[in-house]
Amino acid sequence: MNHSSVSSIVIANEAVPYAEKDCSLRFHPLDFRTQLNDLTCLVGPHRLQLRAYLQMLAGITKPKLGIVKIFGQSVSGLDQADWRVLRSRIGYLSGAAPLLSVQHGLMNVMIPALYHGTLSFRETADKARSLLDELNCQFEPTTFPALLSSLQRSQLALARALILNPSLLFLDVPFHDLGAKDREMMGELLGTYKKNRSICMIGGLQYPQFLERHANRIIYISEDKIIYFNCWRTFLETEDHDVQGLLSVLHNAK
């Protein structure tokens, strides 16, 4: 095994995800490699398409074609027990997915650790409280999600994604439903937790300042093509007509 494959956290070779039922979008093979301290953002006109690629890279779904390796393990070859162990090493934050409304905030954060059984209930609760303090959450941890602001719910979702100390973190529209000031605050938190882990996200165009500061790679995905950019600036400066069309929508929305 060569050095690049050892240091890479996720590798995808000609990987094509499964489409959701009734989805008629075309999916192209993705070549992808990410390492510690990297942040990659998938952008494009179709959110469902981007989410299919994101979940494939996160090991939530297996590739339809090609190979996806996470921590050196091929996702397609894992049995249920090995897959569960792998998932315990990966954090997944979804700004569009609701927290459990019947559980208070602290329990929402604790659930992944309780599911994987890594700590006792008391130890898990203590760790969750410390994590909420670290995230500067200005609310009582036993408050139910419906009584919290959009930013506070985002903080809870981030804490839940971080409770198992993942070295791989996936962000699914993390700036969803946040105002300009809250997006800035959330961006500062996410930038802090980029250190010593690899991050892959969609929804970054909702807060481009975050990508300008932290993105190591932008991947444009559509029905027609996949284009790889090595930073935010090269993405902005591309002459590709479709990318410029996407950027014009972004500029008009400001």
- Model pLDDT for residues 90-102, shown as the tens digit of each residue: 999 986 667 888 8
Q: Are 15 and 67 in contact (CB under 8 A)?
A: yes
Q: Are strands 226-229 and 217-221 parallel, antiparallel or unpaired?
A: antiparallel
Average pLDDT over every residue of 56-79: 95
Whole-Å CA distances, 125 to 57, 105, 106? 30, 11, 7
Closest-CA residue to 154 (of 131, 136, 174): 174
Q: Are 208 and 250 in contact (CB under 8 A)?
A: yes
Condensed to tens digits (0 to 9), the pLDDT of residues 41-62 reads 999 999 999 999 999 999 999 9
Closest-CA residue to 208 (of 195, 218, 222, 221): 218
Closest-CA residue to 27 (of 58, 61, 52): 52
5 band by pLDDT with thresholds 50, 70 and 90? very low
Beta bridge partners of 41: 201, 218
Token pair 């760790």 is found at 127
| Domains of the chain (ranges, CATH numbers) | 3-89+167-252 (3.40.50.300), 95-165 (no CATH)
Structure tokens at 192: 């802090």
Q: What SS3 state is found at 159?
A: helix
As a whole-number percent, the residues of the chain with pLDDT over 90 amount to: 78
Token pair 């494009």 is found at 44
pLDDT of res. 254: 54
Token pair 């297996």 is found at 62
For residue 216, report the phi and psi dihedrals to the nearest 5 degrees: -95, -15
- Does the pLDDT of residue 253 top 70, yes or no? no
Q: Are 202 and 220 in contact (CB under 8 A)?
A: no
For residue 163, report the phi and psi dihedrals to the nearest 5 degrees: -60, -25
Q: Are 191 and 214 in contact (CB under 8 A)?
A: yes
Interacting residues of 54 by C-beta distance below 8 A, sequence separation 6+: 42, 170, 172, 200, 201, 202
195 band by pLDDT with thresholds 50, 70 and 90? confident
Condensed to tens digits (0 to 9), the pLDDT of residues 145-186 reads 999 999 999 999 999 999 999 999 999 999 988 999 999 999
pTM attached to this predicted model? 0.91
20 band by pLDDT with thresholds 50, 70 and 90? confident
Q: At residue 148, what is the residue type?
A: L
Whole-Å CA distances, 204 to 1, 3, 11, 96, 174? 34, 30, 21, 13, 8
What region does 22 belong to: left with phi over 0, alpha with psi -120 to 50, or beta?
Answer: left
